Chain A
Amino acid sequence: EIHIKEPTEKEVNPRLLPGELLLCEASTVYKYIQEDGSNRGTCGKLVCTNFKIAFLDDDSASDDNEPQFKNKIVGENDITLQCVDQIYGVYDEKKKLLTGQLRKYPEKLIIYCKDLRVFNFCLRYTKEEEVKRIVSGIVHHSQTPKLLKRLFLFSYASAAPNNIDGRNQTVMFDTLEDWCDELERTKGNAKYKAVSTNEGYRVSEKLPLYFVVPICVSEESILKYEGKGIPIWCWSCHNGAALLKMSAFPKEQDDITSQTQKAFLDGICKTISKPPYELLKMDDLSSSLPSLQDIQTAYTRFKQLFLIDNSTDFWATDVKWFSLLESTNWLEIIRRVLKKAIEVVECLERQHTNVVLIEESATDLCCVISSLVQVMMDSYSRTKSGFQSLIQKEWVVGGHSFLDRCNHLHKSDKEEAPVFLLLLNCVWQLVQQYPPAFEFTETYLTVLSDSLYVPIFSTFFFNSQHQKDTNTSGETLKTQSGPFRFLTVWDWSVQFDPKAQAFLNNPLYAEKPKPDKSQRKTSRFK
């Protein structure tokens, strides 16, 4: 049984961020120390705010062994509302999933987090009224559909002092200049141009304001099909071959429409597969890679292996670990994605062929493959600022639907898929295989993936730049201290003090002076 310590009288209050409001709380809650499977726990207060669920240890004042690596925004016993995956109630030793209205209140609450933490709270010694309020509060605020404007992101941005200038070495790709610089850096400017056709989102709400297309593509043709069927430039290889992406035309019932679309596309392809352009290879990722549905299914199975309640379950599954892991199919998906990236690299590098990645919206697997190819071929993408710029370019500005893929608003489970996590996981595999080649560490990848669920940064909380822009220009969003501005996740000082930030940097990183040259050399020997 639980070792009850008399609750101390002193009041423990949660530390609140600007714009954070305490919604409900319950005292005499026990948090189990789950590792040993025993019933030991610590007594404290469970609170729910508009930002997080937090457990406040009654003895927290006395914790003097501060960990070396600590997040300033999300503490060890904090769960942001977006980080909650599933909540279970335990009634008479039986686990039940909690989603909406509750008729009975549980004795125990199990919270599974998206960052794979598991919390066990015992409510048996809590006043009934408080149990009711905290459980329904937590379930309501973390599990039910939400409006975008109700995200903590907005309360924080309006309340927080706005003197932080998020500028660092990360290229944000929100200006024409950023794209021109990138073209120049990769020497792609002879054949490709940055265009501002989409200013005012005239072409498409999914595309960024500025992007890059082959020089021969006219503005009219970009406007013609809302940016579909146009190869959009991602990156140029040292030999001139380029990586492009293209959103496919929707399947038309109408024969005439699809005929004209086909003719349009053929025209563009013909132009850019002749000199000065290299040969062109089209790769339809929707047929050569697993579907988002497959990816989501595999990850759901995979994550189940890590959401373990106690050590008994841990050891019970241990003997069959390898086959369990295999049966989730998650590693197989990673393998297929990496293989595809290698295939594209070989096309660009050895066959001097342009590669166009095709996908319905060109914002999911296209982002994964194009990012991976650049990480593998461009040593700049293996630096911290280079990798961050890459994420800005391909994902944030590139229009990956973070809001829907992470299901931050609980709008539709069907849209949910861990596409960005898939990229981080593939990059981790590369970090494992080439440890000195990366400026950042495994820890960096971990905190980056954790940041997907911290709604104080705008980076991962919009589906597109258009959505972000339209939601910040409203008149209601004026702060007292000047223009309304979101934080970017790339300002690591928001989450970590300088000492902790050191853990993000790989001490063994060996910078290569001339990466392109060395790569050419190795390939010749292959």
Chain B
Amino acid sequence: MASSSTPKYNSNSLESSSSKRTLKDGTNWEQNEEIPRLPGETRVTDKEVIYMCPFNGPVKGRVYITNYRLYLRSVENDPVVVLNVPLGVISRIEKMGGASSRGENSYGLDITCKDMRNLRFALKQEGHSRRDIFEVLTKYAFPQSHNLLFFAFLNEEKFSENGWMVYNPMSEYRRQGLPNERWRVTFINEHYGLCDTYPSLLVVPYNATDEDLKKVAAFRSRNRIPVLSWIHPETQAVIMRCSQPLVGMSGKRNKDDERYLDVIREANGQISKLTIYDARPNVNAVANKATGGGYEGEDAYPNAELFFLDIHNIHVMRESLKKLKDIVYPNVEESHWLSSLESTHWLEHIKLVLTGAIQVADKVSSGRSSVLVHCSDGWDRTAQLTSLAMLMLDSYYRTIEGFEVLVQKEWISFGHKFASRIGHGDKNHADADRSPIFLQFIDCVWQMSKQFPTAFEFNEQFLVTILDHLYSCRFGTFLYNSESVREKEKVPEKTLSLWSLINSEKSKYTNPFYTKELNRALYPVASMRHLELWVNYYIRWNPRIRQQQPNPVEQRYMELLALRDDYIRRLEELQITSNSKIPNSSASSASPSQMMSHLQTHF
């Protein structure tokens, strides 16, 4: 029977190696070394509970809580059921049932996680058995609400690579060929005086002075002025990012902003109009005028043409993901799966984001025109669009390190509000600022990797790992809202980078099908016919839906590569022996090398 199959519950695939040992004998329970622990991780409490597994029914076990994770190990099951959940993924802890409630297993805790699952534990109804565990969990899952440090600040892990060295803005701009005679690097924001949510180093048109920038800042929401994200190596057309102009109800204009946009257009030696992509739906952009925002009007910017990309706001995306969770967890809606999936609109939003990014990329590449991208504040939809367009246009960002640079640059340094969007260590689960914008971006990347299976150096595991640690708080990478805060909190000095973990074990995250190809633009098909639900992420907790791991195709390919190498080696050996016998055999020795060049893959 399928229901009696008991797969391993490994919530955190990263640590699967440390939780493989199984126990047959209950007497060993108190041995600490049986519970995986990171350097710097300390045990807080443990308790006997019943884990209400939504797939296989109640599981008797013991739960251990540390300052980093919740760890459960079953007592009776064989194989042993293990739950290994970083406390950072917890969004909400609720008590279920009261001291007097009847019914089996009706008294306990219900934990909502940020990674598409819920955990329920039933406890004995005696004493105040759950009060302790509830308080401990609440305290360590929400350290920000209890004046405690994130675990990232206590983590004493050591890695062979230092992930903080991956992104250096100056060398990234140099890689792009910047500065040049048309674009300059400015230090005007060195102490975040111009804009506190921007990085300290910015690239702006050579013909715009720092004084000009200050004037432009006054007309852009939160001073997020148009700055360069990427320059096309051949067309010299650029992708610029910013926030909305402060037009307001009265339709205010700003000469400096208008001139600045013209300077951007001219920097490309471009005669045609500058293209502005406003990520929002038209009506939302208009509605923003009521709160002082708006968009670039035709009268004020005659040399620009503006398109709306119809991408909805953070609240719409949050509700969409909620609906998606409803149809996949704990049970997958089987009878009307496709129409249920459609009604969540999740893939439709993915489609709109991808469509927008394709338009940006196409304009810069084929249209040879510079583009300006913004939404309202320029830290959610704008980051999605610029980073996806860059991924489509620049093959460097499709390597492991290149992708780390892209995330570090377009998301982390340009002030995507990770702390607010994810709610790191914050107990306020209903906060309206929370939204899965970054998840949506990673989903778009996954969709691209499905459509171009050889174009990315990284595999699916890489993307899943990034998302796992988006919540885990084990690394400093995604903590806080902006570079200025991170600097104040001394994040790079006091915490580890996620890229340290990944780059120390790169082979685990490498796509064996990757073939290095320079400067090929990738345009995914943004049609519902080609988009898929990312089952290995969204439905990975369900043992009946989860796809085979490791990926059988990848595994088979690796086997064949090993076999090929083996044959080549043996062929060479044979040639050496035969060459020593027959001195003149040049014709036969030429063929294997020809064959090799044909089969050459970058692995």
Chain A residues engaging chain B, CB cutoff 8 angstroms: 314-315, 318-323, 325-327, 331, 434-436, 507-508, 510, 525-526
**Closest chain B residue to A315, Cβ basis:** B527
* Cα A471 to Cα B158 with chains together (Å): 80
State whether A508 touches B1 (Cβ < 8 A): no
Among B2, B4, B342, contact of A320 (Cβ-Cβ < 8 Å): B342
Identify which of B5, B341, B342, B557 gathers the most chain A CB atoms within 10 Å of its CB: B342
B529 proximity list for chain A (CB < 8 A): 318, 321
Chain A residues with Cβ below 8 Å from B338 are 322-323, 325-326, 331
Scoring B residues 325 to 353 as 1 if CB is less than 8 Å from chain A, else 0, what string do you get?
A: 00000000000111101100001100100
Interface of A is mostly: helix
| Complex CA–CA separation, A319 to B355 (angstroms) | 13
Q: Is B553 an interface residue (CB 8 A)?
A: yes
Given contact pairs A320-B342, A323-B339, A323-B342, A435 touches B552 in the complex (Cβ within 8 A): yes
Given B4, B5, B347, B560, which contacts A508 in the complex, CB threshold below 8 Å? B560
Contact of A318 among B4, B5, B528 (CB under 8 A): B528
- Residue of A319, A331, A435 touching B528 (CB-CB under 8 A): A319
Tell whether, in the assembled complex, residue A322 and residue B5 are in contact, meaning their CB atoms are under 8 Å apart.
no
Q: Knowing that A318-B529, A525-B5 are A-B contacts, what are 17 other residue pairs whose CB atoms are under 8 Å apart, sorted by A's residue number?
A: A318-B351, A320-B342, A321-B342, A321-B527, A321-B529, A322-B338, A322-B339, A323-B339, A325-B338, A326-B338, A327-B339, A435-B556, A436-B553, A436-B556, A507-B560, A508-B557, A510-B559
Q: 7 closest A-B pairs (Cβ-Cβ)?
A: A321-B528, A326-B338, A322-B342, A322-B338, A323-B339, A436-B556, A508-B556
State A327–B337 Cα separation when bound (angstroms): 11
Residues from chain A with Cβ under 8 Å of B559 in the complex: 510
Asked if A322 and B528 make an inter-chain contact with CB atoms under 8 angstroms apart, the answer reads: yes
Instruction: Give Cα distance in the complex from A434 to B548, angstroms.
Output: 9
Shortest Cβ distance from A437 into B: residue: B552
Question: Given the complex of chains A and B, what is the CA–CA distance between A526 and B338 in angstroms?
Answer: 29
| Residues of A close to B336: CB separation below 8 A | 326
Residues of B within 8 A of A436 (CB): 552-553, 556
Complex Cα–Cα for A93 and B160 (A): 69
Q: Which residues of B contact A323 (CB under 8 A)?
A: 338-339, 342
Q: How many residues of B contact A (CB 8 A)?
A: 22
Q: How many Å from the CB of B264 to the closest CB on chain A?
A: 32
In Å, the complex CA distance between A331 and B338 comes to 10
A-B contact pairs, 18 of them (CB 8 A): A314-B527, A318-B527, A321-B342, A322-B338, A322-B339, A322-B347, A325-B338, A326-B337, A434-B552, A435-B556, A436-B552, A436-B556, A508-B553, A508-B556, A508-B557, A526-B1, A526-B2, A526-B4
* Contact status A319-B1, CB under 8 Å: no
**In the complex, chain B residues whose CB is within 8 Å of the CB of A435:** 552-553, 556
Closest residue of A by beta carbon distance from B529: A321
Are A322 and B341 in contact (CB-based, < 8 A)?
yes
A325 to B338, CA, bound (A): 8
> B356-402: which residues lie under 8 A (CB-CB) from chain A?
none
User: What's the dominant secondary structure at chain B's contact region?
Assistant: helix
In this complex, what residue of A is CB-closest to B341?
A: A322
Neighbouring B residues of A326 by C-beta, 8 Å: 336-339
Q: How far is the CB of A281 from chain B (nearest CB, A)?
A: 18
B244 to chain A, nearest CB (A): 27
Q: Bound state CA distance, A508 and B513, in angstroms?
A: 12
Q: Say how far A438's CB is from chain B's closest CB, in angstroms.
A: 12
Give the docked Cα–Cα distance between A360 and B52 (Å): 49
A314 and B530 alpha carbons, distance in the complex (Å): 12
List chain B residues, Cβ under 8 A from A525: 5
Would A319 and B348 count as touching, CB distance under 8 A?
Answer: yes
Q: Within the assembled complex, what's the spacing in Å between the Cα atoms of A327 and B339?
A: 9
Q: Chain A contacts of B342 at CB under 8 A?
A: 320-323
> B1 contacts which chain A residues (CB < 8 A)?
526
- Most chain B CB atoms below 10 A, which of A325, A326, A434, A510: A326
User: How far is B340's CA from A326's CA once the two chains are assembled, in angstroms?
Assistant: 10
Partner of A526 from B5, B339, B553 at Cβ < 8 Å: B5
Question: Which of B530-560 touch A at CB < 8 Å?
Answer: 552-553, 556-557, 559-560
A436 to chain B: closest residue by CB = B556
| Identity of the chain A residue whose Cβ is nearest the Cβ of B557 in the assembled complex | A508
Per the bound structure, the CA–CA distance linking A508 and B528 in Å amounts to: 29
A435, B548: Cα distance in complex, Å = 11
Q: What is the chain B residue whose CB lies nearest that of A323?
A: B339
In Å, the complex CA distance between A434 and B553 comes to 9
Provide the bound-state CA to CA distance between A100 and B455, in Å.
52
- Nearest A residue to B5 via CB reads A526
* Cα distance A44–B132 in the bound complex, in angstroms: 83
Asked if B528 contacts A510 (CB within 8 A), the reply is no
Question: Which residues of chain B come closer than 8 Å to A318, judged between CB atoms?
Answer: 351, 527-529
Q: Who on chain B is nearest to A507 by CB?
A: B560
Q: How far is the CB of A330 from chain B (nearest CB, A)?
A: 11
Closest to A306 in B: B529
State A183–B528 Cα separation when bound (angstroms): 48
- Residues on the B chain within 8 Å of A327, using CB: 339
Measured CB to CB, the closest approach of chain A to B532, in angstroms, equals 11
Give a binary string over B514-525; 1 marks a CB under 8 Å from any A CB, 0 the rest.
000000000000
Closest Cβ–Cβ distance, residue B459 to chain A (whole Å): 16
Report the minimum CB–CB distance from A522 to chain B (whole Å). 10
CB distance from A436 to the nearest CB of B (A): 4
B residues 1-54 near A (Cβ < 8 Å) are 1-2, 4-5
Interchain CB contact under 8 A, A510 and B556: yes
How long is the Cα–Cα vector from A314 to B338 in the complex, in angstroms? 19
Residues of B within 8 A of A331 (CB): 338
Q: Closest approach, in angstroms, between the C-beta of B270 and any C-beta of chain A?
A: 27
Chain A residues with CB under 8 A of B552: 434-436
Nearest CB of chain B from residue A212's CB, rounded to whole Å? 33
Q: Which residues of B contact A315 (CB under 8 A)?
A: 527
**In the complex, which residues of chain A have a beta carbon less than 8 angstroms from the beta carbon of B553?**
435-436, 508
Give complex CA distance A179, B1 in Å.
Answer: 35
Q: Which residues of A contact B4 (CB under 8 A)?
A: 526
Residues in A with CB closer than 8 Å to B527 are 314-315, 318, 321
Complex Cα gap A81–B417 (Å):
62
